[in-house]
Amino acid sequence: MFIIQAHSNPDDAATSLTVLTRGEALATAMGWIGRGKTGVRVIGDGRIYSPEEFALTIGQPDKGPLR
């Protein structure tokens, strides 16, 4: 699972969404950037990624939830 977070502007609260796959996470992050949201980041794999960094992980296997 991956968490995508962003801000629209300093007056708005943060937006957050949880998705199951890397592809969904990247598509969501890029869509939000395209709509003007700032501070977009993807949380997963025990790391916090910028969308650009996260794009480099596409093709890696998704890790299941920690047990």
Q: Tens digits of per-residue pLDDT, 36-64? A: 888 999 999 899 999 988 988 887 766 65
Residues 62 and 67: their CA atoms lie apart, in Å, by 15
Strands 47-49 and 38-44: antiparallel
3-state secondary structure of 22: helix
Residue 39 and residue 12 in contact, taking contact as beta carbons nearer than 8 Å: no
Q: Name the token pair of 58.
A: 């596409």
**Using CA atoms, how far apart are residues 18 and 46, in angstroms rounded to an integer?**
14
Average pLDDT of the residues in 22-43: 92
pTM of the model: 0.78
